[in-house]
A and B are shown apart, each in its own frame.
Chain A
Amino acid sequence: MIRRTATWIATAVVLGGAMPLEALAVDEHPGRFIAANCTGCHGTQGRSTGGMPSLAGLDRSYILNAMEEFKSGTRAATIMHQHAKGYTEAQFALIAEYFAAQKAR
Chain B
Amino acid sequence: MSRNRREFLRAVGAVTAVGMAGLPTAAKAATGRVVVIGGGFGGATAAKYLRLWSTDLDVTLVERDAQFVSCPLSNRILAGTTTLADLTRGYGDLTAKHGVKVLRDEATAIDPAKQTVTLASGKSLPYDRLIVSPGVDLDYSGIPGLKDDAARERVLSAWKAGPQTVALRKQIESMADGGVVAITVPKAPYRCPPGPYERACQIAWYLKLNKPKSKVMILDANEKVASKEALFRKAWEDLYPGLVEYVPNSELADVDAKTLTAKLQFDEIKADVLNVIPPMKAAAIAERTGLITANNKWCGVDFLTYESTAQKNIHVLGDAIVAAPLMPKSGHMANQHAKVCAAAVIALLRGDVVNAHPVINNTCYSFVTGADVIHIASVHQYDAEKKTMMVAPGSGGLSIAPNELEGRYAEAWGRNIWSDMLG
A78 at the interface (CB under 8 A from B): yes
Q: Are B343 and A33 in contact (CB under 8 A)?
A: yes
With both beta carbons as reference points, the residue of chain A lying nearest to B96 in the complex is identified as A19
Near A by CB (< 8 A), chain B positions 8-58 give 10-13, 20, 23, 25, 27, 48-49, 51-56, 58
Could you mark each residue 317-339 of chain B with 1 if its beta carbon is under 8 Å from any beta carbon of chain A, else 0? 00000000000000010011001
B416 at the interface (CB under 8 A from A): yes
State in angstroms the CA–CA spacing of A27 and B27 once bound together. Answer: 11
B392 at the interface (CB under 8 A from A): yes
Taking CB atoms, residues of chain A closer than 8 Å to B406 are 78-79
Taking CB atoms, residues of chain B closer than 8 Å to A36 are 49, 339, 343
Partner of A83, one of B101, B377, B399: B377
B248 at the interface (CB under 8 A from A): no
Could you mark each residue 86-108 of chain B with 1 if its beta carbon is under 8 Å from any beta carbon of chain A, else 0? 00000000011011010000000
Q: Are A86 and B13 in contact (CB under 8 A)?
A: no
Taking CB atoms, residues of chain A closer than 8 Å to B48 are 44
With both beta carbons as reference points, the residue of chain B lying nearest to A6 in the complex is identified as B55
Could you mark each residue 395-423 of chain B with 1 if its beta carbon is under 8 Å from any beta carbon of chain A, else 0? 11101000101101101110111011001
Q: Are A4 and B415 in contact (CB under 8 A)?
A: no
Partner of A86, one of B10, B361, B413: B361
> How many B residues touch the partner, as a band?
35 or more
Q: Are A48 and B416 in contact (CB under 8 A)?
A: yes
Taking CB atoms, residues of chain B closer than 8 Å to A50 are 412, 415-416
State in angstroms the CA–CA spacing of A12 and B33 once bound together. Answer: 16
State in angstroms the CA–CA spacing of A44 and B96 once bound together. Answer: 16
Could you mark each residue 77-105 of chain A with 1 if its beta carbon is under 8 Å from any beta carbon of chain B, else 0? 01100110111111101100100000000
Taking CB atoms, residues of chain A closer than 8 Å to B335 are 40
With both beta carbons as reference points, the residue of chain A lying nearest to B52 in the complex is identified as A27
Question: B336, B360, B403, B416: which has the most chain A beta carbons within 10 Å?
Answer: B416
State in angstroms the CA–CA spacing of A14 and B381 once bound together. Answer: 40
State in angstroms the CA–CA spacing of A51 and B418 once bound together. Answer: 13
Q: Are A51 and B361 in contact (CB under 8 A)?
A: no
Partner of A90, one of B13, B98, B416, B423: B13
B363 at the interface (CB under 8 A from A): yes
Binding site for B on A (CB under 8 A): 1-2, 4, 6, 8, 11, 15, 19-21, 24, 26-28, 30, 32-34, 36-37, 39-44, 48-52, 78-79, 82-83, 85-91, 93-94, 97
Given A27-B53, A85-B392: 14 more A-B contacts, CB < 8 Å: A1-B20, A28-B27, A33-B7, A37-B339, A40-B417, A41-B416, A44-B419, A52-B416, A78-B409, A79-B409, A86-B361, A87-B359, A88-B13, A94-B10
- Give the 10 A-B CB pairs with smallest separation, nearest first: A86-B379, A51-B412, A86-B395, A90-B13, A86-B392, A82-B397, A36-B339, A85-B395, A85-B394, A40-B417
